[in-house]
A and B are shown apart, each in its own frame.
Chain A
Amino acid sequence: MDWLHILMPVAGVPIFWPGLVILGLGVGMIGGFFGMGGGWMVTPGLNILGFPMAFAIGTDIVQMSGPSLISTLRHAKFGNVDYKLGAIMVAGTVSGFECGAQLIMWLERIGRVDTYVRSGYLILLTLIACLVFTDLAKKRRKDREAIAMGRKLDALATGIEWHKTLHKIRIPPVVHFRKAGIRCSVWLPVLVGFFTGLLAGMLGIGGGLVRMPALIYLVGCPTHVAVGTDLFEVAISGLYGAASYTYKGRTEMLAAVIMLLGASVGAQIGSVATKYVKGYGIRLFFGIAVVGCALSIVLKLIAAAYPGVRGLLNGAATLLILGFVGALSLYIFLQFLRGVRRELAMKKHMVEAGV
């Protein structure tokens, strides 16, 4: 089965290339759909496939910078990007990112990067899964209460509304963001940008995993504006991150290009699929994918601790992460196909009716 493995020139490790293709397509589709670069699954995925952690982080950032640019252009066409909010956040994001990248280089020097980054991912994914499931439960409770009281719930309502409290902190300058429809202190998006940038630099995520929930729950953006603005942010910080990690010599271009080819196509499909999928319930699938990714990291951590079962657990971790990424991508692709068929049928019907 040697033909299924390709030797990486810089990292010097043989890699299962179909895994790179699945990760690339998956990250594009899921990233374009949920508004996240998808680094939360690519960095652990690359590490599980065999890349050293610093290379997994760097390569993830390089491949992510391309598709996020494409997804940003797509969302910009739909009018989903708040450029003013994005431009203000960039200052915090870039400075946070460099702090995170320096931290990773230090951890690599002291030989602790694998354990710390995996543990960091585990904490992060657990928190995100908890947030998603809590939000879903709260939204359902609100729905039930609204139905019981006989009134209709606001279509844009979310379960958690921390932003209402944060908007009361009016440290000057206070700015109005027209597209997002919010008014808050400029320091709120800058701080959100810094902490998400720091996590991005440390974990190799575009920051969307944290930034998008932060934009919705802390800044108070509607979901579709949060998706577009977050992608804008990921594209800018992704380019900076790609330059920073390549300058540090921790990127593998060959792997990035293989993933990029799939991700660029996937990103388009994912972005267009948001036209067709309605309903809050899609967040449930997202939550399940996050849990799947966390489980594969647990397996990898156990494998590092018990060398006797390392081969078995590494194989199981690879299967688990590729399985979850593949299943979620397939779901989005099927929704995309169904939507396209419906739109084309509607157009044909309108032409036949002479409208």
Chain B
Amino acid sequence: MRNWWVRLRPAACMFLWLPAKALAEGGHPLVLVADSRRFPAWIAWWSNLYNESHLYLALLTVVVIPALALVMGKVTDLILSRIGINLKSRVLAEH
């Protein structure tokens, strides 16, 4: 085990050093602006929101994406249950 640690130590140090260097470098990330003029309805609205506030966009994303996935998942669940597949038990199958 000791030999393993001696071999892996440089790699582990590099892993910890790189993010520390990135944080220490500071500076601002590249600023991008979305062109909302060429898009219809909700895409234009989303692009405008991107330009106005990344914070609201982030909050909206963590709500919208799981909600959308949940709705899609439930619909698929319903269809699979209707077909007659047992979704509540499973014989162990290692793979």
Contacts and interface: CB of A to CB of B under 8 A. Distances in A.
Interface in A297-346: 340, 343-344
Nearest to A223: B94
A78 B87 CA distance: 8
A239 to B, nearest CB: 5
B95 A279 contact: yes
A280 B95 contact: yes
Nearest to B24: A106
Contact of B32 (A10, A198, A254, A275): A10
Contact of B30 (A73, A108, A246): A108
B68 interface: yes
The size bracket of the interface on B is 35 or more
Contact of B19 (A7, A99, A254, A272): A99
A343 B47 contact: no
Majority SS of interface residues in chain A? Answer: helix
B75 to A, nearest CB: 8
Contact of A249 (B32, B36, B43): B32
A9 B92 contact: no
Interface residues of A, number: 70
Nearest to A261: B72
A131 B76 CA distance: 34
B13 interface: no
A156 B94 contact: yes
A63 B65 CA distance: 7
A247 B54 contact: yes
Contact of B62 (A74, A108, A239): A239
Contacts of B25: 106, 109
A64 to B, nearest CB: 9
A304 to B, nearest CB: 20
Nearest to A344: B84
A249 B29 contact: yes
Nearest to A33: B95
Interface string B22-60: 110101011110111011000110110010001101110
B80 A268 contact: yes
B16 to A, nearest CB: 8
A91 interface: no
Contact of B95 (A10, A62, A257, A282): A282
28 contacts: A9-B44, A9-B47, A10-B34, A10-B47, A12-B34, A12-B35, A62-B61, A69-B69, A99-B22, A106-B22, A156-B94, A224-B92, A242-B62, A243-B61, A247-B57, A249-B31, A249-B32, A261-B72, A264-B69, A264-B72, A264-B73, A265-B72, A268-B80, A274-B95, A278-B93, A279-B95, A280-B94, A282-B95
